[in-house]
Structure 1
């Protein structure tokens, strides 16, 4: 018996199907490390939950670290605010620096924290008040953040990675983008980069906060194509000496529908149903069918949790979308089903996108982010 090599709900160890994204980031890492230059635009990969954004961002971090860059990780949305989170994360990499570099960097971190209304590391136990929009600390904070970045790259390049960027506080986002604007104009020789990930509403959310959000490079993540799904399914098993029969592969991928989380979930369920196979064994179609039954309990729990978190008006909109099938639905068709105007959809639409349940598809259309959720909604309404 061997433990499952699959990782549903965890950070994946490999990211098949994201070759284009990895190639783009590798190119930017070459600009950063080989040329010693600033990566001028903040990159934001965005997709619904379950598409592997965090795993992809972790792969960016591994590649940057392997190339010799210092990396700091932030998950946006904490109470102290984005800039304080970045400051605290940068502080963690000061150990091991030359003494004069360490001293200068820590002084700039303290200045940055003071500029955004947060106590320094030495006084972090005291009460702090996050800055509000009325404080407008962004301009002074941006200069202080710029100074931190310039000091941090004294010995090696710096990569800042921000997960869940759509949850960042508005003041922190403005401060970050202002700082990058200054560096674009004045710091081309500063080897630093920001890579971020967020939900489908990240571009819209950021554009509503930062007027010049064109300085960010938005990159949507789509479903996995067939070859990538097969790699994610077969590769981990093969590394343990186990192979999948072709009927089992075909059935598993029909269940997964290109959704990365489902690939991991059906593979893990089939692995368990096959008795956690030893080297030399095979995963057969029967194991996938039994795994599908076990997987359904996880899906039902996931769908019920998402459904119960919706307000009555949001549920009505979900039902109107599901009424038209499993694919993209025009806003006009949704409005007609609700007997209302398209403009009346804006609020529930925004909330459902924020919750990761729907996303914009083609122009003027919306679609569910999770395969199978439309059928669940239809069943819930009967």
Structure 2
């Protein structure tokens, strides 16, 4: 097949050519902003899932839906080494630029700009995306206390009233929520609660690893009732087949059933793996229909790419001791492993290897689905580890 016309797009957060199996989550977001728009309370959506399941892609699709509905939007990727308040400041700049162009009530817009300047000056952070060029002075006594919860709440309430006057809304989408940390999410959760109580058309939604629900609950005990936490898992067989076959069909190419079955085994329903394997299958196939033989030829090439771009970079982040812990986990199988069994495989007591476990948790390489269990945040990581030389373990 012509590699130039290859329709598949593996990448971090890269939208696939056909977003299969996620209609319910798209519809849920559209319904949510429609309810907020008419003044009804909602539970803001938060996505939770492993890496490679398409959470970022869904956030970007939600952003498209909001924009088409006339809402102002901003996207934030939380980072453990960044100041969340400064990152939110960047997002507010984006929002205010959109609002300044769209809203007709200039007096309301100017007050909102002054409140935003107060918030941004109180951050003590550098606004990285082009600076703030509203040309107004701050609004004294509003959003300038230095408390993220107080200031963000006052800013979002002001934004909500302005949006309501315009018959519109605003949404901030925060990716990698777990990296923001519970201590820094206190203000976000509190502000989100207030605007929801006042039924204002402002939303904060987000996505994160499976631990994101606990991170939010640790920030505020009521967070589990405030947010609608949606688990995002692998696609079922029908959705995976659609994700592969539909883009090819648009180009006059079809897959034999055996090829789709072989890809199902290799990708396991995970969107990133689907796009990677399908890309290499397309490149090696000579003609339509694509066969299971084409899949077999492409599989080692796709596997090499996944090793270089997906598995190895994460493995390399771990210390030698943490790697041994990961290998011990992989020796227990593909599912979540009891921490006691992992320690036993290392011939140690659980307390002796808690530093390694905590290091992996902090790096986002593993998570604890339940007390006493540990699992990889990356699909198929255990299988990858078992392909490495045995001297890496022990």
In structure 2, the CA distance between the partners of 1:240 and 1:271, relative to structure 1 (3 Å rule), is same
Deviation of 1:228 (Å): 1.1
Spell out, residue by residue over 1:83-102, the C-alpha distance to the aligned partner (whole angstroms, 9 max, x if none).
Answer: 31332121221213223343
**Cα distance in structure 2, aligned partners of 1:298 and 1:285:** 20
**Cα distance in structure 1, aligned partners of 2:292 and 2:115:** 60
* Residue of structure 2 equivalent to 1:380: 389
Determine whether 1:29 maps to 2:33: yes
- Give the SS at the match of 1:160: strand
Determine whether 1:165 maps to 2:168: no
- Give the SS at the match of 2:374: strand
- Give the SS at the match of 1:283: coil
Deviation of 1:178 (Å): 1.7
Deviation of 1:347 (Å): 4.5
Unaligned stretches of 5+ in structure 1? Answer: 125-133
In structure 2, the CA distance between the partners of 1:180 and 1:137, relative to structure 1 (3 Å rule), is closer
* Residue of structure 2 equivalent to 1:127: none
Residues 173-192 of structure 1: matches in 2 within 5 Å? 173-185=185-197, 187-188=198-199, 190-192=200-202
Unaligned stretches of 5+ in structure 2? Answer: 136-144
* Residue of structure 1 equivalent to 2:322: 314
What's the TM-score once normalised by structure 1's chain length?
Answer: 0.85
Deviation of 1:151 (Å): 2.5
* Residue of structure 2 equivalent to 1:7: 9
In structure 2, the CA distance between the partners of 1:363 and 1:26, relative to structure 1 (3 Å rule), is farther
**Cα distance in structure 2, aligned partners of 1:30 and 1:340:** 55
Residues 129-278 of structure 1: matches in 2 within 5 Å? 136-155=147-166, 156-168=168-180, 173-185=185-197, 187-188=198-199, 190-214=200-224, 215-275=226-286
What's the TM-score once normalised by structure 2's chain length?
Answer: 0.83
2:333 corresponds to which of 325, 340, 362? 325
Deviation of 1:340 (Å): 3.8
Deviation of 1:109 (Å): 1.2
Deviation of 1:329 (Å): 1.8
- Give the SS at the match of 2:192: helix
Deviation of 1:367 (Å): 2.9
- Please, what is the CA RMSD of the aligned residues? 2.8
**Cα distance in structure 2, aligned partners of 1:345 and 1:338:** 9
**Cα distance in structure 1, aligned partners of 2:367 and 2:124:** 36
Larger CA deviation: 86-95 vs 16-25: 16-25
2:101 corresponds to which of 63, 85, 95? 95
Aligned length: 365
* Residue of structure 1 equivalent to 2:56: 54
Deviation of 1:310 (Å): 0.3
The answer on whether the counterparts of 1:44 and 1:219 sit within 8 Å (CA) in structure 2 is: yes
- Give the SS at the match of 1:48: coil
Determine whether 1:19 maps to 2:31: no
**Cα distance in structure 1, aligned partners of 2:153 and 2:349:** 42
The answer on whether the counterparts of 2:156 and 2:202 sit within 8 Å (CA) in structure 1 is: no
The answer on whether the counterparts of 2:160 and 2:169 sit within 8 Å (CA) in structure 1 is: no
Deviation of 1:211 (Å): 4.3
In structure 2, the CA distance between the partners of 1:181 and 1:371, relative to structure 1 (3 Å rule), is closer
* Residue of structure 2 equivalent to 1:69: 71
* Residue of structure 1 equivalent to 2:303: 296
Deviation of 1:38 (Å): 4.7
